[in-house]
């Protein structure tokens, strides 16, 4: 099942995120709970999950960004694409990305962007098969 997160998905999502860049499970604090609630109630912030047998096995984030150019059409940004190691190559991430695209289309976005830190050709080819290209724009990152 592909869907957006709900409040009850916190532990499942954070457990999955531990596989993303070796993130440790964060300590539950009031600030973390406030951030979780902020994300849950932000109409432009979508965390999409694939669930199988009650377990969150894949996810991506899709953020809609209002824009004053391109006829004031928003654009969408996709990040934090992850699939549990035991569930890879079964279409879950593709389904999450397709759901993100549906959100972007519904929000009348003119483009959907995705950044990856991966240099693995298999990962880059996965994104290409999902409809993304690395030729139209150049991404630069400044870590702060």
Are residues 113 and 76 in contact, defined by beta-carbon separation less than 8 angstroms?
A: yes
**Predicted model pTM:** 0.94
What are the boundaries of each domain within the chain?
Answer: 2-129
* pLDDT per position as a tens digit, 54-103: 999 999 999 999 999 999 999 999 999 999 999 999 999 999 999 999 99
Judge whether residue 135 has pLDDT over 90.
Answer: yes
2-129 architecture in CATH? 3-Layer(aba) Sandwich (3.40)
Contact partners, residue 13, CB within 8 Å, separation at least 6? 5, 47, 49, 56, 59
The number of helix segments (H) and strand segments (E) in the chain equals 4, 5
Band of residue 23 on the pLDDT scale cut at 50, 70, 90: confident
């Amino acid at each position: 099942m592909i869907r957006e997160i709900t409040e009850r998905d916190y532990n499942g999502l954070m457990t999955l995120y531990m596989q993303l860049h070796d993130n440790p499970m964060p300590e539950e604090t009031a600030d973390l709970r406030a951030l979780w609630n902020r994300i849950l109630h932000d109409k432009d912030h979508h965390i999409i999950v694939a669930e199988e047998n009650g377990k969150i096995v894949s996810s991506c984030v899709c953020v809609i960004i209002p824009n004053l150019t391109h006829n004031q059409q928003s654009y969408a940004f996709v990040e934090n694409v992850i699939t549990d190691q035991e569930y890879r190559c079964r279409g879950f991430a593709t389904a999450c990305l397709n759901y993100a695209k549906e959100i972007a289309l519904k929000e009348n976005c003119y483009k959907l962007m995705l950044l990856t830190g991966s240099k693995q050709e298999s990962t880059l080819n996965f994104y290409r098969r999902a409809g993304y290209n690395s030729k139209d724009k150049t991404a630069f990152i400044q870590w702060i």
